[in-house]
Amino acid sequence: MKVQSSAPDIDSSAPAIPRHVAIIMDGNNRWAKQRGLRGVEGHRQGARAVRATVENCARAGVEVLTVFAFSSENWRRPEEEVNALMSLFLESLTQEVAELHQNGIRLVFIGDLSAFTPELRRKMDDSVRLTSGNQRMTFAVAVNYGGQWDIVNACRQLASQVEQGTLRAEQITPEKLQQFISLGDLPMPDLCIRTGGENRISNFMLWQMAYAELYFTDLYWPDFDQAALDAAFADFSRRQRRFGRTSEQIAASQEE
């Protein structure tokens, strides 16, 4: 992975860049099937698309990139495919982490990691420790993750505090719950991209994406490239993000 370290020239005509981009990477299997290949080959090409997207987002100035790599529902897939995904995941960690570190990118994982093998968890922990001080961009990988699980997990931690007497029920607020939500200390996603032609978020970051702009493309994930990312950013630039306010209020605030 080679990422230019110098900051790009400021271009007033360039599209607005989201601080936090979340991506649902869909279509690996269908990409492979179209080409008469095994599903694992689609996932392998998908891993290359991840690498390119990390590079492109870092160059663009994105602060946080979160990808949905493996949902808690994906365990229902054929055992052969799940095993291949786990092997590819371990292989990618081994090959890519050093370059992420060299390019100043912090790697984190979100999800219930207890389901993975000790070897894979050890690799994940080592990768997180190695890159923990990097500040250029945070690359978050959601594995064995589900948005409902995330919210329930946060609620359990709040309930534990109430049970211990360190928190009263009336003190529970959205801000308090967010302290226990995955990536709750980072900017909320501004843009969620889903490839593969499906128009849903599939239990991904339900709490965090309350105000995210949603962008859907028919491209299968292995075909998602710089041009596709640019198109998503251009579309994002045309959105007016009101956060509950009116267009007139937005216009007035911009004139001040």
Active-site positions read: 26, 74
Handedness of CA 249, 253, 254, 256 (dihedral sign): positive
Question: Look-up: residue for tokens 């309930």?
Answer: 159
Q: Hey, is 77 helix, strand or coil?
A: coil
Query: In sequence order, what are the residues at sequence separation of 6 or more whose Cβ sits closer than 8 angstroms to the Cβ of residue 20?
Result: 62, 63, 64, 65, 66, 186, 187, 188, 189, 190, 191
Can you tell me the distance from the alpha carbon of 190 to that of 239, in angstroms, rounded to the nearest whole number?
11
* CA-derived radius of gyration, the chain: 19
Nearest CA to 138 out of 113, 112, 108, 110 is that of: 108
Backbone angles phi, psi at 16, to 5 degrees: -65, 140
Closest of 208, 184, 204 to residue 194, by C-alpha: 204
Q: How far, in Å, CA of 227 to CA of 204, rounded?
A: 24
The CA–CA distances, whole Å, from 77 to 15, 74, 130 equal 38, 6, 32
Task: Report the alpha-carbon distance of residue 167 to residue 224 in Å, rounded.
Answer: 46
Q: How many C-beta atoms surround the C-beta of residue 101 within 10 A?
A: 17
